[in-house]
Amino acid sequence: MRSVRARAALGATLVVAVALTVAGLAVLTVLRGNLTDRAGLEAEVAAREVAGELALGVAYGDLELGDEDTHPVQVTDEAGRVVAVSKDLEAISGTGTAQVVPAPPAPAPSPDDDDDDDDGNDPARGEVSSDPPDFANGTATVGGEAADYRFAAVEATTDQDVTLTVHAGAPLAAEQEAVTTVRNSMLTGLPLMLLVVAGVTWLVTRRALRPVEGIRQELAAITASEDLGRRVPEPDSRDEIARLARTTNETLTVLEASVDRQRRFVADASHELRSPIASLRTQLEVGAAHPELLDVPGAVADTVRLQVLAADLLLLARLDAGERPGRTPVDLGALVREEVSQRAADRIPPEVSVAAAGQLEVSGSRGQLARVVGNLLDNAERHAERMVAVSVRGDRGDVLVEVTDDGSGVPEAERDRIFERFVRLDDARSRDDGGAGLGLAIARDVASRHEGTLTVGSAPGGGALFTLRLPGRTGAGQEPAAGEG
């Protein structure tokens, strides 16, 4: 079955069917047991009445055997011979012997024969056994009608010290009729009950799953239209379906933002690539027509700019794809000094000072971390007036790299925006020597994938302060900074 409603209805119906069947069997068992015990009690009472007469010495022929139609009686001696039976008893089973014709008994003394003994003692008296009787089910035919009975066997001892067993029966017709009536009622009501359960479950499930169908239809419409601005309906309830709808809408929001960011990225990349490609093409076309006018340094600069931009785009693509950095030990102090020493000598950069004490190691990709440090240095050099300062220190198990310049700083309102891709502030754009606005975005993405952070603030003497915080490498033997515990 492909329908959730059908499976739910079938499952609920099966569960109820099993539960009702087990409950019905239990009810029938208890009812049959109670009625059988009741018939056994009636049989025991009838048997003890006859046993009491035998204990008093009543002759077999004078026994009051009760109502032979409802309580057939059979009396047997120690040898298993039948000595007395109810009137019109034609057949019997379940009492140990099927005889219904009494055997000729030995002459029984009259109850008054031994009233006066030679020694003056009271005459001997019989007794009825106080032990619980034995019960058995059987049949008896009385007056040509056969029926099922519950037999009770009670022992009695006569005044002649003869042990007799009285078998008295109680009919089981009432028990059988009651059990049959209840069973037929259950068999009739069970299918109706299951139909009601299946129908109610179907309706309730359909009502409960109606919002799911609305969500499905809206998602199908979103897929067909590719309009990620649409949202699925959220029901007013606080159940799992409402949470599913909210989670779906949150996913659509994230997906829409990701697609928009990807579109802006493609558009901005196309725009940034267009300028150097157009400039390079113009120079090559002029050079082809007039070789003496070919601007080789300009062509080389445009080619380098294209190469750097392509490398940035490739790195961003790898980061967006979820590329995980390596776990190589990296000494940030040595890495910063190396990056500073590689600054181009003919670029006439501002003075760069480095302060790094001890071995401060982190785990990660050396190439990506070098890219972060290089981007921070490039950004500081573009904005600095005369000086750039870099410090590397430990801080409560982390390693901090702080890059400070003496430029105009970053306005507080722009401090989050500068980490977006292809974003350059107006002042930076006027002084930007070919930057595409990807350096800080790449630096923050790399820091995040190294379980670190990159923030910007104001330097004590003015300018910008970029702080890169990375978790220190465990067991690297780093020297704590001043005040670090």
Asked whether residue 331 falls in the same domain as residue 460, the answer is yes
Query: What's 294's domain CATH number?
Result: 1.10.287.130
Asked whether residue 13 falls in the same domain as residue 150, the answer is yes
Asked whether residue 332 falls in the same domain as residue 462, the answer is yes
Specify the pLDDT at position 376: 92
Domain span at residue 252 reads 228-323
Contact 354, 338 (CB under 8 A): no
Nearest to 13 by CA among 185, 188, 182, 192: 192
Instruction: State the total domains in the chain.
Output: 3
Asked whether residue 319 falls in the same domain as residue 331, the answer is no
Q: Is 467 exposed, middle or buried (0-12, 13-18, 19+ CB in 10 A)?
A: middle
Predicted TM-score (pTM) of this structure: 0.51
Asked whether residue 349 falls in the same domain as residue 291, the answer is no
| Residue 388, in any domain of the structure | yes
Q: CA-CA distance, 158 to 162, in Å (whole number)? A: 5
Q: What are the tens digits of pLDDT across the range 167-208? A: 999 999 888 899 999 999 988 988 999 999 889 988 888 888
The single residue listed with the structure tokens 């380098």 is: 304
- Domain-ending residue, one of 290, 323, 356: 323
Q: What are the tens digits of pLDDT across the range 79-118? A: 888 999 988 888 999 888 888 888 775 554 455 554 444 4
* Identity of the amino acid at 298: G
| Residue 331, in any domain of the structure | yes
The single residue listed with the structure tokens 């005889």 is: 99
Nearest to 167 by CA among 93, 95, 67: 95
The runs of H, that is alpha helices, within 226-294 are 240-289
Asked whether residue 26 falls in the same domain as residue 143, the answer is yes
User: If phi over 0 gives left and psi between -120 and 50 gives alpha, with beta otherwise, what is residue 397?
Assistant: left
Specify the pLDDT at position 453: 93
Specify the pLDDT at position 317: 78
Specify the pLDDT at position 329: 92
| Residue 201, in any domain of the structure | no
Helix (H) or strand (E) holding 18: helix 4-55
Asked whether residue 142 falls in the same domain as residue 264, the answer is no
- Domain-ending residue, one of 271, 297, 323: 323
Q: Which phi and psi angles does 10 have, rounded to 5°?
A: -65, -45
Asked whether residue 373 falls in the same domain as residue 455, the answer is yes
Instruction: Pull the structure tokens for residue 474.
Output: 């465990």
| Residue 476, in any domain of the structure | no
- Pairing state of beta strands 351-356 and 361-364? unpaired
Query: What's 466's domain CATH number?
Result: 3.30.565.10
| Residue 459, in any domain of the structure | yes
Asked whether residue 450 falls in the same domain as residue 374, the answer is yes
Query: 3-class DSSP state for residue 356?
Result: strand
Low-confidence stretches of the chain (pLDDT beneath 70): 1, 66-69, 105-125, 344-349, 424-436, 475-485
Asked whether residue 175 falls in the same domain as residue 53, the answer is yes
- Domain-ending residue, one of 323, 354, 375: 323
Sheet holding 387-395, edge to edge: 351-356, 387-395, 398-405, 464-471, 453-458
Asked whether residue 72 falls in the same domain as residue 132, the answer is yes
- Pairing state of beta strands 89-93 and 134-142? antiparallel
One-letter-per-residue 3-state SS of 358-404: CCCEEEECHHHHHHHHHHHHHHHHHHCCCEEEEEEEEECCEEEEEEE
Asked whether residue 159 falls in the same domain as residue 249, the answer is no
Instruction: Pull the structure tokens for residue 159.
Output: 């005044």
Residues belonging to the chain: 485
| Residue 85, in any domain of the structure | yes
